[in-house]
Every structure is written in structure tokens, then in C-alpha cells.
């Protein structure tokens, strides 16, 4: 998909209260990783609940280019016949990750310590995103960057070493993608690879490493951080993966239900991994009526059903150290903040500038289009919040699925409709978004 293709705009209007029970698709982070672990395991990995969004389908295609057999056996049901750690085939064509930072950066780690050459590429959005954050630690293992675009941008060609050396790396950015790239590279290096993060980020890679039989130890580090030690060159053992519903997708119906008066919506089976629940914590602090029902553990992840009712929200101060646990949810939190009484200050949002779009700028432009007062001070976004938002504008989505979905949610509660200029990229993470939201009563046309 490219920005030059015909755009598919959509308008969202205020209507009746939202009601019903829905299940959102599988978690994107776990889906990418499940396919990659399948590739790195000899034998058959069966995955259920896989997110069949474009980002993940690109990862599946790349796994095939590297030698795996990847087959869909039913809705969300996939089978991967892998080649094992050390067994990757050199790809004959460039690897195209489309819009997906996760697919690209994690696969740099997967491939990095194999003695093969590979070229990484993506769409116009991904070509703007920084890749040195993954390449810097990979070079310490002995990976050579053969070609790269300006400032370490895609397209990038790397050559893996014959004999990789293990690495101890303290990541300068709070990024699960960087942490995961290092750990995945460490799989094919002898000895112990260590990653230190000063802010804990989502831990799906660590969990999946132990699920597939690798020796991995996680210990606390400082006030909010962790140290992860991985023993390299394990023989991973095929294990089934059940992908829980994505909390980052659930965020949209949850905020929609909270801001549309009288709503009563239940989202079932949502992953409640504590490193992913910052939005729920924040919405509850704002006064959102969210009930956590049927809390349970399935396939090693906490999950629950979330019942959300139309709520009176109050502005809050969101601390910077919460950012990793809700990093993709700030655009839709800004929408909730627009309907709160009093200011909401979201601190430490510098990472939002390097997502599918510059999300800080895109959110600010969207709020401006909706007539919502806000300011950016350094890395903080402050949304004024006076309980209502006029709406009536068009939002540029900049090839960014989360910007599109956030402002469609906003239009369900603004006085005038909200239009987003392009919905095409919603298919990267939440292909059924429009249909599921319409099922709850959303007026999108
Ligand atoms: O590891 C992952 O699956 C992800 C990590 C986050 O990115 P960063 O590591 O760049 O913060 C997040 O924004 C992305 O959607 C998924
Ligand atoms: C940032 C995101 O994904 P990625 O980095 O994989 O493109 C996202 O889904 O919001």
C-alpha cells in the first residue's frame, strides 16, 4: 500500500449510545513473535487467534522467504514448520515489512546473527522511521551494515557474522522492539546475551522465549527497569501459541463507550499483561466506569472481560514512567481527555514522534481540527478538556492506523461529525474495526 493510492475517507457522527459485546482481534505484538518463534523452531508450531492484519501477514511472508512453511488452516489458525535457530535460508529478494516497525526491527534481530545477507524495506511511513536503534546493538554481535538510507533509514542491507559474539546491552530508549531485537539476535550467539532496560517494556519476547524452552532470567533493575539474561544457541521446542485479544485494539471501543453517554459495552478476553494496561489504569483514574470481569490466566497471559459504561471523566496527570505500558494508546487517550472536565497532562511522549507518523503532531492537528484546546510543552501534551468537543473537521491520518481509529472514535461524541482522510491503514492492525464498531451502533459513513 502507498500514500499515493486512492484514499478511503470516512465520517463519524454522534448518535445513540453504544451497546453490545465484542471480541477484538489477536494481539499484534504476540502475533509477530509467534510467527518468528515458529520460524526459529524445528517442528510444527500451531498458532490460534493470530491477528490477520497486514503487518502480521507481512511477517508471515518474510518467514517463508527465510525457509519456513507457513500455512493458514482456518480463521486465526496458522501452522508454522520452522528451520530452527541457525537454520535460516538467505532470502533471494528484499524483505518488505510494509507499515510495521515491529516486524522489521524484530526480524533484524532474528536474522542478524545468521551468516546470511538480507535487505529490509517497507512503505513510505516505515522508510521514515529510525532503524539505528536496532542496528547499533546488532553491530556489537558482529553484524555488518552493508547499505543503509540516510540517517539509518530503510532500505537497509545487513550481513550476519560467521561467529557472532554475545552482547550486554543497556538500551538508551525504552523500546520493546530494541530489547527484542537484541534477545532474538542473542539466540544465535554462543554464551549469555544480556539486555538492561531502565523502564520495563512489554515482555512478550521474554515470555515466549521460556515458552519455547530457552533459558531466560528476568530480574528487577532500578526503580522501573529489568535485566534479562538469555543463554544462547538453545534448541527451541515447538509449543502451541494462543494469542489473546489485543489491548491496543480494545482501547478504541473502550474509549468510545466511555465518551458516548449512556453506552454499555463489553470487550471480552482482553490481554491484561501489566506492561500493557496503562490506558485502563489512566481511564479508571479519570473516573471511567470500567469493570474488570472474569479475570483469568490463559496460555501464560492475564486476560479479562472489560465492561465499560458512558462516564463523566476528569482530567489527570499521566506520569512519564507509565508511557511504555500504554505507548500506542496516547492518541485515543487524547480523545478521551478532550471530553474530560479539566486538563489532562501526558508526560514524556518523545517516542510518539517516531511511530507510523509523528503522533504528537498528528494528534495535535486532529485536536485542532476538532476545535479542542491543547498545548505541547517539550515532550508533554496537555489537553484542556471542558467536557465537550465541537468537532466538524477533517483529520489527516499520515498512513497511521491509530490516528485514523482515534479520530473516528472522537466523532461519535463531538457536536459536529469528524472526517478522517484515509482509513486504509486500519487494516494493518484491526481489519474489522469499522464493522465491529458499527455493530455497537457507531455511525460511520
Ligand atoms: O515490541 C512490540 O511489539 C511493540 C513495541 C512498541 O514499539 P517500541 O519498541 O518502538 O516502543 C509499540 O509501539 C509497538 O506497537 C509494538
Ligand atoms: C507503533 C506501532 O506499530 P509498529 O511500531 O509495529 O509499526 C503501533 O501499532 O501503534
Q: Quick check: CB of 180 below 6 Å from ligand 1?
A: yes
Domain contains 3 = no
Question: What is the percent of the chain where pLDDT is above 90?
Answer: 98
Å from CA of 344 to ligand 1 middle: 24
> Are residue 189 and residue 284 in the same domain, yes or no?
no
As a whole number of angstroms, the distance between CA 292 and CA 220 comes to: 27
What does pTM read for this prediction? 0.98
Å from CA of 190 to ligand 2 middle: 31
Å from CA of 424 to ligand 1 middle: 21
> Are residue 329 and residue 196 in the same domain, yes or no?
no
Does 227 carry a binding-site annotation? no
Domain contains 273 = yes
Q: What total of structural domains would you count in the chain?
A: 2
Domain contains 2 = no
Catalytic residue, candidates 305, 328, 400, 422 = 328
- The ligand with the least distance to the CA atom of 53 is 2
Which of the four pLDDT bands, split at 50, 70 and 90, describes residue 6? confident
Q: Quick check: CB of 404 below 6 Å from ligand 1?
A: no
Question: Is 328 assigned a catalytic role?
Answer: yes
Q: Quick check: CB of 123 below 6 Å from ligand 2?
A: no
Å from CA of 90 to ligand 1 middle: 26
Question: What is the percent of the chain where pLDDT is above 70?
Answer: 99
How many Cβ atoms from other residues are within 10 Å of residue 343's Cβ? Answer: 18
Q: Tell me, what's the pLDDT at 1? A: 45
CA angle 11, 331, 316 (to 5 degrees): 125
- Picking from 195, 225, 242, the residue at the C-terminal end of a domain is 242
Closest ligand 2 atom number to CA of residue 104: 6
Does 28 carry a binding-site annotation? yes
Nearest CA to ligand 2 atom 1: 355
> Are residue 111 and residue 164 in the same domain, yes or no?
yes
> Are residue 226 and residue 341 in the same domain, yes or no?
no
- Picking from 218, 242, 266, the residue at the C-terminal end of a domain is 242
* CA 270 remoteness from chain centre: 15
As a whole number of angstroms, the distance between CA 286 and CA 171 comes to: 32
Average pLDDT over residues 367-396: 97
Domain contains 317 = yes
Closest ligand 1 atom number to CA of residue 178: 9
- Picking from 242, 274, 299, the residue at the C-terminal end of a domain is 242
Q: Quick check: CB of 100 below 6 Å from ligand 2?
A: yes
Domain contains 385 = yes
> Are residue 332 and residue 371 in the same domain, yes or no?
yes
> Are residue 345 and residue 423 in the same domain, yes or no?
yes
Q: Could you tell me if 76 and 26 are in contact, meaning their C-beta atoms sit under 8 angstroms apart?
A: yes
> Are residue 303 and residue 402 in the same domain, yes or no?
yes
Does 386 carry a binding-site annotation? no
Q: Say which CATH number the domain at 60 has.
A: 3.65.10.10
Å from CA of 96 to ligand 1 middle: 18
ipTM for the complex shown? 0.99
> Are residue 71 and residue 192 in the same domain, yes or no?
yes
As a whole number of angstroms, the distance between CA 27 and CA 91 comes to: 27
Q: Could you tell me if 53 and 26 are in contact, meaning their C-beta atoms sit under 8 angstroms apart?
A: no
Parent domain of 234: 28-242
Average pLDDT over residues 70-80: 98
Q: Tell me, what's the pLDDT at 100? A: 98
> Are residue 199 and residue 214 in the same domain, yes or no?
yes
Does 445 carry a binding-site annotation? no
> Are residue 259 and residue 220 in the same domain, yes or no?
no
Domain contains 294 = yes
Domain contains 383 = yes
- Residue-wise pLDDT for 184-204, tens only, equals 999 999 999 999 999 999 999
> Are residue 163 and residue 62 in the same domain, yes or no?
yes
For a mutational test of ligand 2's pocket, the pick from 27, 51, 97, 102, i.e. the residue with the most ligand atoms closer than 8 A to its C-beta, is: 102
- Residue-wise pLDDT for 249-289, tens only, equals 999 999 999 999 999 999 999 999 999 999 999 999 999 99
Domain contains 51 = yes
Is the per-residue pLDDT at 214 higher than 60? yes
> Are residue 390 and residue 426 in the same domain, yes or no?
yes
Which of the four pLDDT bands, split at 50, 70 and 90, describes residue 3? very low
As a whole number of angstroms, the distance between CA 95 and CA 113 comes to: 17
Amino acid at each position: 500500500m502507498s500514500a499515493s493510492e486512492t484514499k478511503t475517507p470516512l465520517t463519524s457522527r454522534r448518535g445513540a449510545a453504544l451497546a453490545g459485546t465484542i471480541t477484538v482481534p489477536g494481539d499484534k505484538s504476540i502475533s509477530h513473535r509467534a510467527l518468528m518463534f515458529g520460524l526459529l523452531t524445528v517442528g510444527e508450531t500451531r498458532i490460534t487467534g493470530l491477528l490477520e492484519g497486514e503487518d502480521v501477514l507481512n511477517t508471515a511472508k518474510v518467514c517463508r522467504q527465510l525457509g519456513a512453511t507457513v500455512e493458514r488452516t482456518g480463521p486465526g489458525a496458522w501452522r508454522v514448520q520452522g528451520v530452527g535457530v541457525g537454520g535460516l535460508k538467505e532470502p533471494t529478494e528484499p524483505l518488505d515489512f510494509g507499515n510495521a516497525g515491529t516486524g522489521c526491527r524484530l526480524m533484524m534481530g532474528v536474522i542478524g546473527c545468521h551468516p546470511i545477507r538480507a535487505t529490509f524495506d517497507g512503505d513510505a511511513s516505515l522508510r521514515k522511521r529510525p532503524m539505528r536503534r536496532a542496528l547499533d546493538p546488532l553491530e556489537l554481535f558482529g553484524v555488518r551494515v552493508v547499505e543503509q538510507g540516510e540517517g539509518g533509514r530503510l532500505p537497509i542491507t545487513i550481513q550476519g557474522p560467521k561467529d557472532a559474539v554475545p552482547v550486554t546491552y543497556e538500551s538508551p530508549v525504552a523500546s520493546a522492539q530494541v530489547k527484542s531485537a537484541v534477545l532474538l539476535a542473542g539466540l544465535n550467539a554462543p554464551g549469555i546475551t544480556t539486555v538492561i532496560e531502565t523502564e520495563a517494556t512489554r515482555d512478550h519476547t521474554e515470555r515466549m522465549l521460556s515458552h519455547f524452552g530457552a533459558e531466560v532470567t528476568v530480574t528487577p533493575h532500578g526503580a522501573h527497569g529489568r535485566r534479562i539474561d538469555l543463554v544462547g544457541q538453545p534448541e527451541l521446542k515447538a509449543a502451541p501459541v494462543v494469542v489473546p485479544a489485543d489491548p491496543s485494539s480494545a482501547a478504541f471501543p473502550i474509549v468510545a463507550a466511555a465518551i458516548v453517554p449512556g453506552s454499555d459495552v463489553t470487550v471480552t478476553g482482553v490481554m491484561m499483561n501489566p506492561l500493557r494496561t496503562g490506558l485502563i489504569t489512566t481511564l479508571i483514574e479519570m473516573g471511567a466506569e470500567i469493570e474488570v470481569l472474569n479475570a483469568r490466566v490463559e496460555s501464560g497471559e492475564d486476560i479479562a472481560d472489560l465492561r465499560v459504561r458512558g462516564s463523566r471523566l476528569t482530567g489527570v496527570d499521566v506520569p512519564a514512567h507509565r508511557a511504555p505500558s500504554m505507548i500506542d494508546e496516547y492518541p485515543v487517550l487524547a480523545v478521551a481527555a478532550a471530553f474530560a472536565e479539566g486538563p489532562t497532562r501526558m508526560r514524556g511522549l518523545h517516542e510518539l514522534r517516531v511511530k507510523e507518523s509523528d503522533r504528537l503532531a498528528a494528534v495535535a492537528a486532529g485536536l485542532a481540527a476538532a476545535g479542542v484546546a491543547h498545548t505541547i510543552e517539550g515532550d508533554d501534551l496537555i489537553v484542556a478538556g471542558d467536557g465537550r468537543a465541537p468537532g466538524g473537521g477533517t483529520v489527516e491520518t499520515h498512513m497511521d492506523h491509530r490516528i485514523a481509529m482515534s479520530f473516528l472514535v472522537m466523532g461519535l461524541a463531538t457536536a459536529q461529525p469528524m472526517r478522517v482522510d484515509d482509513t486504509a491503514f486500519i487494516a494493518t492492525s484491526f481489519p474489522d474495526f469499522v464493522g465491529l464498531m458499527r455493530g455497537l451502533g457507531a455511525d460511520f459513513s
